[in-house]
């Protein structure tokens, strides 16, 4: 989701990772300040689909508190190596795996189907993961997500045990980060409107948007979480 499909299973230079993380954190804090928010108000999610357990451990050692995985099968090994991290699921949430994913992570960013919602609602006891609805802001048929026009109805129809904490989106890939600004702004505006509509039912405080290509623009438009991959390893190969 946030990294190029290349393997990073070779030995990782922990000092270089720490230096990259420090540089990125400074840029994240600067973008937050530009949008009138305090340093540290935006969480860096390290997208670890293409890295191994040792690299996850290096990220945590460098001060990254949030790790994001796309694949259920990869979670256990990486979680064992990265003690103390908050784990996010950012891959496609298949209905048959929904309950298992929720049991293993702290936050799910990709809820977008009624069937997955029903599986989550059927879990005994409180839902063990915070939930974000994936929104297809561009209404792109090639992408997952609830079309923006249908999000209100989707939230309204969710089973009562489920509480949504916010929204996630993935705009089209572009070489110009500014071209993503419209999608980010539209998601923020949707969140602001529906936060009033669903006050007392859904929290709708979080916006997961922005990757290595456009995270500063996303932060300027209100992102609370940015999903970063390759940029956290710049110079660490």
Single out the residue of 139, 226, 137, 151 nearest to residue 187, CA to CA.
137
Instruction: Give the percent of the chain with pLDDT over 90.
Output: 84
**Residue of higher predicted confidence among 237 and 30:** 30
Any idea which of 88-102, 109-123, 166-180, 219-233 has the lowest mean pLDDT? 166-180
Averaged over 73-88, what is the pLDDT?
95
**E strand residue ranges, 173-232:** 206-208, 225-228
Q: How far apart are CA 89 and CA 226, in angstroms?
A: 13
**Amino acid 176: pLDDT:** 92
**Rounded to whole angstroms, how far apart are CA atoms 201 and 124?**
20
On the question of pLDDT at 4 being above 80, the answer is no
- pLDDT tier at 235 (50, 70, 90 boundaries)? low
Q: Give yes or no for residue 180 having a pLDDT over 90.
A: yes
Distance CA 33, CA 140 (A): 32
* pLDDT score at 136: 97
- Is residue 5 predicted with pLDDT exceeding 60? no
Cα angle value 208/93/86 (rounded, 5°): 50
Which of 218 and 235 is assigned the larger pLDDT?
218
Q: Rounded mean pLDDT of the chain?
A: 92
Boundaries of every domain in the chain: 14-44+51-233
Residue 147's SS3 state is strand
> Is residue 182's pLDDT more than 60?
yes
> Tens digit of pLDDT for each residue in 24-50?
999 999 999 999 999 899 999 999 999
Task: Please tell me the predicted confidence (pLDDT) of residue 234.
Answer: 80
pLDDT per position as a tens digit, 97-150: 999 999 999 999 999 999 999 999 999 877 779 999 999 999 888 899 999 999
Question: Is CATH 3.20.20.10 what the domain over 14-44+51-233 is classified as, yes or no?
Answer: yes
* Model confidence at 174: pLDDT above 90: no
Looking at residue 125, its pLDDT comes to 78
Instruction: Go through 14-26 and write b for each residue having 16 or more CB atoms within 10 A of its CB, e for each that does not.
Output: bebbbebbeebbe
């Amino acid at each position: 989701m946030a990294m190029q499909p290349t393997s990073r299973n070779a030995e990782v230079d922990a000092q270089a990772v720490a230096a990259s993380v420090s540089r990125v954190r400074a840029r994240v804090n600067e973008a937050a300040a530009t949008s009138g928010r305090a340093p540290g108000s935006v969480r860096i999610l390290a997208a670890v689909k293409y890295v191994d357990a040792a690299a996850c451990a290096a990220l945590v050692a460098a001060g990254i508190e949030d790790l994001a995985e796309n694949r259920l099968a990869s979670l256990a090994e990486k979680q064992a190596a990265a003690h103390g991290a908050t784990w996010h699921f950012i891959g496609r949430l298949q209905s048959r795996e929904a309950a298992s994913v929720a049991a293993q992570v702290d936050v799910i960013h990709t809820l977008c189907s009624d069937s997955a919602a029903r599986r989550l609602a059927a879990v005994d006891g409180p839902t063990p993961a915070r939930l974000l609805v994936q929104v297809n802001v561009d209404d792109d048929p090639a992408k997952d997500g609830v079309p923006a026009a249908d999000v209100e109805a989707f939230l309204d129809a969710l089973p009562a045990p489920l509480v949504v904490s916010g929204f996630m989106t993935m705009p089209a890939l572009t070489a110009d980060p500014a071209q993503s600004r419209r999608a980010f702004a539209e998601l923020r505006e949707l969140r602001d409107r529906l936060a009033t509509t669903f006050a007392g039912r859904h929290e709708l405080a979080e916006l997961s948007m922005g990757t290595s290509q456009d995270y500063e623009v996303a932060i300027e438009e209100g992102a609370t979480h940015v999903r970063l991959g390759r940029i956290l390893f710049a110079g660490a190969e």
